Amino acid sequence: MKFSCEVVQHLHPLYEAGDLSLSVKGEVEDHIKGCEECRSIYKLSKGEEYDTSNSSRRSTHSSVKILLGVISVFLLIILLNFYQSQRNQVFSAYDHIYKSAEDLEQIIEATPDASREELRYLKDNYFQGMYEGVERLTLSLNWFEKQRLKSSSIYVNQQSFYTALENLHARKSDGRWDEIDQKMYDRLSGYAGEYRKEVEEDYKKFNHGYSSYFQTVDVRDLSMPIEEINKHTYTYNRFHQLPDQVKPMDDLELKKRIADFLKVDHQHVKVDKNEDDRYRFTIKRHDIEGEVDPFSGYPVRMDDAGSPTLKGELLDVNEIQEKASSFLQRMYGEDKSFAIEYLGINVNDSSNVNDQYYTFGYMPMFGSMRAYAFSDQSNRIYVDARSGEFRMMNSLEEVPIHHGFRGEGIENITAEEGSELLKDKVENEDKKLVEKRKYKWFDSFFIYSSTSGGFVPVHAYGLSDQDSTWRYINMENGKEEHLYVKD
């Protein structure tokens, strides 16, 4: 018996459910073999049963693919617009940087012979434009450029650069210009020229039509002259030397130096270089860590995180001051002298309220005169008031203690003579001012001078007792000195 198409199609659900007898199922399959219309319904192929939802799923799948394609195109457009906007910001940033690169050359060239007022004007205008341009550029770099920037710097250290210009100007105007000053001036001029050329090349490639969008910022080449300027201003201000004339201690020297005053095995000392050219150190089997100046080997910060003594009577402060003095001599050397002053308990320290640390300020002494720091700051050392054990210390970066600080100042210039020298200088500076400035003497002491690159004895003169108005005349040669200030 042969089934009609109508019967075969009517039996389709029973066939799918497996409810047909073998004879009927055989008839249905025989019919399907010879009927295109019914076969398309049953869709039997190599044992794969026909699924009426396949067509619907294929349609849904195609719709999803189309949707994903639209979303991908949309995201691509957003990314392209973002990249275009980012590159446009780079183009804009280079407008500022190009101008500041030209200004950098001009300000260095003008420094030795400019007036004090002209120098101040040039500095203020230069940094205003440069920092705006560099900040814009930094924010608009792409991901790859930012990764390269992590190990570089495209910022001039403003304070250090300012100070170097002032020192070059001061030494030229008062007749102290020497070979170091000339080399410093020549190198700063050279690095500023290299920087301008690099900026000029970048400026051209980022202002070249649509091809500019495919250009990248060569961060390393842009940063190299700036980093050299920063290195030179640092060593010039601190030592009155160039970088190749001042060598930091190597790791082994630093380890031995630290181990010597802490009385530990140098093999237990670990040192790691920080980003700011200082070294962090830790002591194995001890709770001591800190930072050390690689040029002197003296610590600039040190902490003993061991457990403080929380119970018991406080020891006599004079007895503890003697211990602090002994520790300083062990750290800096027996031939060094310090003015030590008791400041109180836990001064400027956030230790637990139960911790009791006697706080002492200390500054280098030169005969009967002590060193002075801006705002009359001092180095600090903290000693456990109950046990007499060292706890921590901090030294001022503005007063970098080094091996050569000893001796006495020779007063070739009295305070009265220094006043007259400064008066003549100020009168010349104030020629165009309606209100003339009048300085008076306040004190005499040692300062760490960035103009001479070390400790010098000075007379201090000010418009008031606020030391922000003070100026310093070297009592040995009558020349003006500037306080050392680190960025």
Q: Where are the domains of the chain?
A: 5-52, 78-245, 251-394, 415-481
- pLDDT attached to residue 407: 66
Predicted TM-score (pTM) of this structure = 0.81
Q: How far apart are the C-alpha atoms of 479 and 474, rounded to whole Å?
A: 5
Q: How many CA atoms lie within 13 A of 248 on its CB side?
A: 17
Question: What pLDDT, in 10s, does the model give residues 40-57?
Answer: 777 743 344 444 444 444
Our CA dihedral for 52, 53, 55, 59, rounded to 10 degrees, sits at 160
Task: Assign 176 to helix, strand or coil.
Answer: coil
- pLDDT attached to residue 59: 52
For tokens 């290299």, what's the residue? 194
- pLDDT attached to residue 296: 92
- pLDDT attached to residue 487: 67
Query: What one-letter code names the amino acid at 130?
Result: M
Phi, psi of 186, rounded to the nearest 5 degrees: -65, -40
Q: How far apart are the C-alpha atoms of 212 and 218, rounded to whole Å?
A: 14
**CA 438 to chain CA mean position, Å:** 39
Residues 6+ apart with CB under 8 A from 74: none
For tokens 């319904």, what's the residue? 41
Question: What pLDDT, in 10s, does the model give residues 108-145?
Answer: 999 999 887 888 887 777 766 677 888 888 888 888 88
For every one of its 487 residues, what pLDDT tens digit does the chain have, with 9 covering 90 and above?
677 787 777 777 777 777 677 776 777 787 877 788 887 777 743 344 444 444 444 556 667 777 788 788 888 877 777 777 777 788 888 888 888 899 899 999 999 998 878 888 877 777 666 778 888 888 888 888 888 888 888 999 988 999 999 999 999 999 999 999 999 999 999 999 999 999 999 888 877 766 667 788 888 999 999 999 999 999 999 999 999 999 999 999 999 999 998 999 999 999 998 866 789 999 988 889 999 999 999 999 999 988 888 888 999 999 999 999 999 999 998 888 999 999 999 998 766 667 899 999 999 999 889 999 988 899 999 999 999 999 999 999 889 987 666 667 788 999 999 999 999 999 998 988 889 999 999 999 999 999 999 999 999 999 999 999 999 999 999 999 999 988 6
Q: How far apart are the C-alpha atoms of 379 and 364, rounded to whole Å?
A: 9
Task: Assign 17 to helix, strand or coil.
Answer: helix
Q: How far apart are the C-alpha atoms of 198 and 444, rounded to whole Å?
A: 48
Report the sign of the C-alpha dihedral through residues 27, 32, 38, 41, in that order.
positive
**Whole-angstrom distance between the N-terminal and C-terminal Cα of the chain?**
104
Beta bridge partners of 458: 445, 474
- pLDDT attached to residue 51: 46
Long-range (24+ apart) CB contacts under 8 A made by 347-352 are 347/380, 348/380, 349/382, 349/392, 351/308, 352/308
